[in-house]
Structure 1
Amino acid sequence: MSKTRRFTIRSKIVLGYLVVVLLFGVVLLILSAQIDVLQKENDFISHHDLDVHNLTNAIEKNVLDMETGQRGFMLTGKESYLQPYDQGLSEWNTNYDQLYALISDNPAQQQNLQNIKSHINRWIEIAGERSVLLKKEGDQDKVLAFFQSDPGKTEIDLLRSQLATFRNTEILLTEARVTDLANRSSTLLTIMYTLWGLIAALSIAAAFIVSGNIVRTLQEVKHTISDISRGGNLKQRIRVRTRDEVADLAHEANQLLDEVQEQNRVKDQLTGVATLFQNPTTLEGLSRLFLSELATMLEIPYSVLYHWKDNRLFRVAAYAGDGEKEHSLGKISLVPGEGLVGQSAIEQRVLRMNDLPQNYIRISSGLGHASASSLTVVPILFEGKTVAVVELASMKPLTEKAMELIKELTVIFGVSLHSTVTRMELQHLYDESQVLNEELQAQSEKLQLQTEEMQSQTEELQMQTEELYMLNERLESQKGTAENAVQELAATAHQLRISSGYKSEFLANMSHELRTPLNSMLILSEILAENKHHHLSGEEQNYAAVIHRSGKDLLNLINDILDLSKVEAGQMEVEFDDVYLDTLPEVMNQYFLKTAEQKKIDFRIQLQGPLPATIETDEMRMHQILRNLLSNAFKFTSTGEVALTISQVRLTDPEHAGQETEVIAFSVSDTGIGIAEDKLLQIFEAFKQADGATARKYGGTGLGLSISQSLASLLGGSISATSRLGQGSVFTLFLPLYRKGHEVPQEEQSSRLFVYETVGATAEERINTSSPHVEPELKNMEILLTPLEESLFRDRQILVVDDDIRNVYALANALEQYGMQVTSAQNGTECLELLEQGGLRPDVILMDIMMPELDGYETTRRIREKLGLTQIPIIALTAKAMKEDREKCIAAGATDYLSKPLNIKDVLSRMKLWMSHEKMEI
């Protein structure tokens, strides 16, 4: 991997969130500054203006108190009436100074306040102090004269007018400030909405940029893989310019394509070599061709081949030997156990020597010679017996891939060698029989000369003898020809078995390689889709559900390909048992009710009587065929209806002189796009649909109908199809009728109709009226456990043994959500160490089978036999899906078996079964 900094998907998402958080931070700073300014303005109005009004009122009150005290004292002469006067006289200057300081920001108001002060001082001077002094002197006439003239009234009136004007001015200023504050608050709201809109726009833009960057790379990978799958061009590679997890995915996919391409290349080479080996008719010619192919394919410059015959090894061919020095080719013959060649023949194993001494083996050409540094001796076996040994010399040690290819070539050569030797022996026997036949003919001629005198009497007998003799010759000739044909057919059949074995092994290995990463993807996507901790948004939860469904589609495709391979190889098994027809509508309803509701089309299931209660067939295979037919009907129908009709019909059997036979017909009809008449036959071929445009529009691999037709044949039935373009199609599955038990009562033999409408009721209501065994898509993906199940799983010790860290991570995350304690081991050796040295005693062991060093089979055996841990449930996990894998796992000591990719519900179900079983035993 590049050492440059990786910009992962997580980094992109975090960057998007950081941008949003940063924008919110900027907005908060701006808003806090504006709010602080408004708060200061509000405080100014609340304190400053209120103090101004209070002080203004206080000054006016001081003047009124002085006027009131002055008048009371003048009228009564009592000193107590001077108290308000004295208090107002002492306070008004203080209030004036405070008010003058508060309005320092308004010179005009300060000038008005100074005028008020001058009038107050004027009133005190001419009215207040003077009148009090007159009253104290006791001159009543002067007092009366003062009241009559009242010089202070003018000042008081003017003072009240000035105070009112001053107060009104301040009120207007306060109102102006309040209005300005309201305007600024409105402006702040506008700024808030504007910033919110700007943040929303920038957040959406950041989301689109980040998600677009992620989705664009994923789409590039998806389109490349889709092009590869449609075009079948394994030379094409995924090119991703990002440095994130998508690039890692592309790198792994490219490596897988390289391995598949290399395997195909080797397979093609082996097929070509197997074809070439059929041409030579002599042992020497076949051996020279074999050595020549080794030299061409593996660049092996020197080789010798020994043939096992009569308990000795004879040299029959050499490649690049030195003709002038016959001893350079090695010994002409060897006995078993003599030298490396003889020892390899006895032990039936490959012997290798490197760093050979100088001149041990000379490899020469026209220009010179050199010494070989590596020697490899390979036995060639047929049916467990050594038939030949090949000795190879090279300038450098052979690689492991080269050794694997040599082993494959020796297997093919061993078959061809045995066939050639057998053919040569037969030819030798035939030649000897011809010589004996000639000798017998000469002796017959001599006897004929000796019995010429008896020829007349035995002429008739002689003619019969000659006819029999000629007939015998023809029979001998035909016998030889037939034997040769049988041998050739046997060899061809054996080659086909070998090729079929290669294909089956290749599919099994590919299944393992694809299911292993698919296992962790399905488990983790299911955990994300459950969203038990509510960390994901609804949209992100939908993304996880889409990934989970896509993984399941990929798993179905792998299963279809394996099913097709099993059918072609004759390895598909069926199990016949009684199948109740009455349960079929409910089962099909569970599978397709949600699809009908989503597409807003009618779905009808009709049982047309009379029908038997049961038929004898393989229920799983029958359901598989009907699901394929109904899936196609829903896929190609956008309006109208899809119907499944079950009836009993009579068919004419042409193989039994037109005899009629009773069968059960399962007819799937739709109002979809239909199929052209000239395309009806080809849709049952593998990887074929009606046309390329249909495949592009509706998707699919084209395997469903091919597998369904093959399964129908295994069940003793067939599938027919009728269709009209643009009007719909009818696919009918015919299965043999075996009457079991009792038939449907006469009163119930009328036509029964199961109609599941897609309107008028919610999906949840429909599910509640059907069987509890509903498809996962009809329910929430979250697994709900009963309190008993939760207590059963809580604090259980689980040991996960798997060399793929992705599977360990996925399983650990899934199981720990239910309170289980998960311990992991990356291979069989580490597992045994944990159990033996660490003293770990888990409640369940999840054992991967395909592991390096020590595989799951051997690890399980040692746990059972060496460690004696026979009570711990061991559930075998394998991505290979061949029929013998389960038997091998159980034979090794496994308690149960699950194939990858794993469904976490199945894992929990199996674990619950064996935990409950263990608890019952205790």
Structure 2
Amino acid sequence: MLKRRRFTIRSKILIGYLVVVLLFGAVLLVLTALINTLQKENDFISHHDLDVHNLTNSIEKAVLDMETGQRGFMLTGNETYLEPYIQGLAQWNSHYEALYELVNDNRSQQLSLENIKTHITRWIEVAGEPSIELKRQGDQEQVLAFFQSDPGKTEIDLLRSQLTNFRNTEIALTEARVTDLAARSSTLLTVMYSLWGMIAILSVLAAIVISGNIIKTLRDVKQTISEIYKGGNLTQRIHVRTNDEVGDLGNETNKLLDTVQEQNRTKDRITEIATLMQNPTTLEGLSRRFLNELAMLLDIPYSVLYYWKDNRLLRVAAYAADGDKERSLGKVSLAPGEGLVGQSANEQRMLRLNDLPQNYIRISSGLGHAPATSLTVIPVIFEGKTIAVIELASMKPLQDSEITLLNEVIDIFGVSLHSTVTRMELQQLYDESQVLNEELQAQSEKLQVQTEEMLSQTEELQMQTEELYMLNERLEEQKNVAESSASELAEVADQLRTSSGYKSEFLANMSHELRTPLNSMLILSEILAENKNQHLNKEEQKYASVIHASGKDLLNLINDILDLSKVEAGEMEVDFSDVYLDSLPEMMNQYFLKTAEQKGIDFRIQLHSNLPETIISDEMRLHQILRNLLSNAFKFTKQGEVALTISRVNLPSATKKGQEDEVIAFSVSDTGIGIAEHKLVQIFDAFKQADGNTARKYGGTGLGLSISQSLASLLGGSISATSREGEGSVFTLFLPLHHGEQEDVYDSRLFANEVASTAPQLPENTSSRVPHTSSDISPNEMLLTPLEESLLRGRQVLVVDDDIRNVYALANALERYDMRVITAQNGYECLEMLESGEAKPDIIMMDIMMPELDGYETTRQIRNRLNLTSLPIIALTAKAMKEDRDKCLAAGASDYISKPLNMKEVISRMKLWLSHETLGI
């Protein structure tokens, strides 16, 4: 079949224009012919008729000139009068011949001319020549007789009549020609308009035919695209009827539709694969399903997947492996850089090999097997890290389009693989957390039971105390039994002290039991909060941080329960420093904003404008008090709001009568159930709540307000409460702005007892008092013997600690025993001082937890590199686990003391090791 000739749009347009040009050319030819004819007619009229008239007039003039000359000469006899005659005689015949030639197309006119010639000739013969001859002969009589007879007059008259007729005939012919020329001009205009109309019609018809031929396919393209747009029908195709650019457009549109349809099928397949990748919950199941889908998508008959774990590539799944697994699947484990798989993992790029040897790998089925000829190794990358490698074998090389599709599918699989592994890790952590939570819950239930038993014992002791009061009253009335009653009272007091001891011992044991599961929870929540593998989003990471912070708070609360007796004795540790008030809203929002949202309660924090930037207080204890107050407010509030307001107020001075002190008031208000007025006092007692019956609605141990009041006292403040039952409560914490002239002492926890001893005492009837706290180092001096004093005096002690406050405190304490103290702020500085000889200490006090170079490594280098094996080194650490002591001794430390330090114990250990050094032990 012959190939259809291509007829482009340009050719069609050019042909259309050519047709128009040809039509215009034909019209121009016709018009030119007509115009030439008219021009000839016009020229004929302009030249022929004019020449006829001119020649007629010239003949007539010549005859008149001859007659005039003839008469003048006959009258005068002067030869000069013959000149017109002679000229006319010479000219009339030439004019006659020319005129006769001009009217050769009109025989009648020629006949008229012939008659005219006859008369002219006759006049010349009968009148002209004879008269002149007579005049020349001088015969005057005959001349007069000639005039009287005048034989030429008749000829002249006939000549004039014939010339007039001839002229009138030519004039009539000229007018006829002019009329005909006008008619033909009108006909020419009609022809011109007719031809223009015909050309216009033919041009329009050609334009309609050509444009229709072009627009037909364009309309088909538009209709097809419109159907695709409206109905999404990609199966519609354009019927191409022309072999031109419009046909090319239709063909290209069909190709585009084929490509889009194929891309949509591919995208649908990729979407199906992505959906299938969400279901598996195990790494092996996900990998096998992906290899199966990959085989169906790209017709890949053989594949193996390696997963990156613990810096190794482990084989986890394969597709179409035969019975000989060692031969068909290769190695079970690969190191990074080992083989093509390891190299692809390191380089993070695809590796392709074609024309594989016959024995490289075989693809088998039930009917037989054949060697693979193409190998493709592609890494699975997630967030810039290689997490797996896939090795594919096929009978033919993959095409570029298949490689592009493979990359898209691999990217989706990378996300699914990472999500599955992350989900498995989170599930494992969740299971472990569940176990720990169950253990913690069991311990809590046990503690609750024991707490209730202890509460019962406390109530019994309280009843016994009331009985003692009654006995005291009886003693006043019955002095005779005073000694017996006093003995009974002492016995009951001993029982009370014994019961309190049991309580403290029980709290210590239970607090130790709670620390073990709580420690694991803190470690796991801290791992989740660090989010090193980026498994959690920001909000989940924030949740983990809040869990960790809450766990730490719980640990602190357990420590507070353990030290409840210390609180009552005024020995709780405090750390005074600058507390920034503007940071409190963010901190409290982190703890309670979620609680407020969950309960549907408004939570607002308001700071008044007249507040200072900072106050001197213990930030951790302040936060603990506020959290206790806010926690109670949320617990007893079902609707409405909970508010924290911080303001500066004036209260009557406790030390200066008639004056006021400025304090900071932290008011926690709620719209909860409120507290009955008669219960406002007892709620600050330990294990007491407003709802104190055994079937109370709200949980809790009842220690929160008691501990908060004690902590407020330690901070130099107090807590007041106002409430109206059913309307809400307001708890206000009052803290001083300043702590007297000893404020700078609070920068170090080492001298809190000294501050307490030097601070002014408040009256006993006030709820605020200066705290008596313990510190990291007790400065109580020992009474030494002269021998012991000489053992310590002048000794050089090297204190290595990165906390300048501890260094300062320890140095001041040791200098009281006339010891010379030098300091190093880190392990590197300590080693440099010892190596250069700048320091030659008799003993080293080594802090373990230091940045960069810790105490363990510093001690090892002192022993091994500097070879100072006999120099006493006492390790100091805040950690107090059994293994920490073993680590310190294994690193080369001579002794181990846990923080907080007791100076008596420190001096005792120093005496021991300095005496060993002195005796050379």
| Highest RCO, 1 vs 2 (Cα 8 Å, sep ≥ 6) | 1
> What's the TM-score once normalised by structure 2's chain length?
0.45
Question: Computing the radius of gyration over CA atoms, which structure comes out larger, 1 or 2?
Answer: 2
